[in-house]
Homo-oligomer: A and B are copies of this chain.
Amino acid sequence: MSSSNASRRNEASRRAILTAAFELVQEVGYAKLSIESIAARAGVGKQTIYRWWPSKGAVLFDAFLLMLGEQADTGEPALPDTGDLEADLKTVLRATIEELNDPRYDEPMRALNTEIVHDPALAALYSERLDGPMREMKKRRLRSAQRAGQLAEDLDLDVAVEMVWGPLLNRWLQRSGALTPEYADSLVETALSGLRPRH
Where the two chains meet, the residues of A that have a C-beta atom closer than 8 Å to any C-beta of B are 29-31, 110, 113-114, 116-118, 120, 123-124, 126-127, 131, 142, 149-153, 155-156, 158-160, 162-164, 166-167, 169-171, 173-177, 183, 186-187, 190-198
Are A118 and B114 touching (Cβ within 8 A)?
yes
The 4 A-B residue pairs with the shortest CB-CB distance in the complex, in nearest-first order: A194-B194, A166-B167, A162-B167, A166-B170
Residues of chain B lying within 8 A (CB to CB) of residue A171: 162, 166
Is the CB–CB distance between A155 and B118 below 8 Å?
no
Q: Interface SS of chain A: helix, strand, loop or mixed? A: helix
Whether B192 contacts A192 by the Cβ 8 Å rule is no
| Contact yes or no, B118 A156, CB < 8 A | no
